[in-house]
Amino acid sequence: MELTTVFQNYAKSFLCGRADFDGNIELKRTHSFRVMSLAAKIARAEKADENDFRLAVTAGLLHDYGRFEQYRQFETFADARSIDHGELGARLLKEHNVLHDFSSRDAEWIITAVRCHNMRELPAELSGKALWLTQIVRDADKIDIIELVLSYYASNLDNPQVTLGLSPEKRLSPAIVSAAIQGKAPDYRDLRTFYDFAVTKLSWFAGLYFDWSRREFLRRAYPERIIGFIAGIPGAEEITAAFAGMVKNAGIEYELNL
Ligand SMILES: [Fe+2]
């Protein structure tokens, strides 16, 4: 059976008939397929050979394999309040022998990428193909998550799995503004409002690994959409100026279209 079908069946086996529960399972299932296709595009842009391309696509598809079991057991996607879904996914992929068609070396690389895709800092010993796959998955994941967050912000703000219980109050927290201006990764414990959360998505630009990903971030007008969302809030102008500087430093010719 095709791996996409195996995955599809696995994800669907978690559906239980409760609309809110099933909605969140579907959210992760469709996200996985989009990350797969983004991973494919990055691998193509990186001129990967046929085998590496297959590894990248597979790691993209399976990166959130642990999400389904996590949600079934805990009904949350917050790792801090449940379980590390990267670890869980890596363990389940082995237990279910999902990668039996791959050489043990290739399977190990994919499993490592799944285990590491959600780490705050990558382990220093991660190298070679495992590192490359992890980086592809992380970039692809981020690009899709931002689209998801922005589309939720544009439409419904009533799914606590997406809004993380943050306040709808229209302000930016000082710690978030200062991290954004310094181009630093924000501390998630400083998040208070939806707007803080949107700003953290802007800061993801600096952490992207591949040129294709940075260009895609801009092509999708993420900066303009995020900045449009926070426009008028004290701190927004400084964040915008700092971001423009960051794009310039990345060596990309780009004019923010505000
Ligand atoms: Fe994930």
φ/ψ of residue 98, rounded to 5: -65, -30
Contact between 107 and 99 under an 8 Å Cβ cutoff? The reply is yes
CA of 221 to the centre of ligand 1 (A): 23
- Cut 0.85: pTM above it: yes
Listed residue (97, 117, 121) closest to 39, CA to CA: 117
Contact between 9 and 32 under an 8 Å Cβ cutoff? The reply is no
CA of 244 to the centre of ligand 1 (A): 28
Looking at the predicted structure, is the pLDDT value of residue 113 above 90? yes
**Rounded to 5°, angle at Cα 41 from 151 and 13:** 60
Contact between 89 and 115 under an 8 Å Cβ cutoff? The reply is yes
pLDDT tens per residue, range 80-112: 899 999 999 999 999 999 999 999 999 999 999
- Provide the pLDDT for residue 131: 98
Side chain identity at 184, as an amino acid letter?
K
CA of 85 to the centre of ligand 1 (A): 7
Listed residue (154, 178, 173) closest to 229, CA to CA: 154
CA of 230 to the centre of ligand 1 (A): 26
pLDDT tens per residue, range 43-84: 999 999 999 999 999 999 999 999 999 999 999 998 989 999
CA of 74 to the centre of ligand 1 (A): 15
Listed residue (82, 102, 92, 99) closest to 11, CA to CA: 92
What 8-state DSSP symbol labels residue 168?
-
CA of 247 to the centre of ligand 1 (A): 26
For the chain, give the percent of residues with pLDDT over 70: 97
CA of 77 to the centre of ligand 1 (A): 9
CA of 113 to the centre of ligand 1 (A): 11
CA of 235 to the centre of ligand 1 (A): 30
CA-CA distance, 52 to 212, in Å (whole number)? 17
Looking at the predicted structure, is the pLDDT value of residue 238 above 70? yes
pLDDT (average), residues 191-195: 91
pLDDT tens per residue, range 154-168: 776 666 666 677 888
Q: Which domains does the chain have, with CATH numbers?
A: 3-143 (1.10.3210.10), 166-249 (no CATH)
CA of 111 to the centre of ligand 1 (A): 13
Confidence of residue 183 (pLDDT cuts 50, 70, 90): confident
CA of 70 to the centre of ligand 1 (A): 11
What's the whole-number average pLDDT of the chain?
A: 93
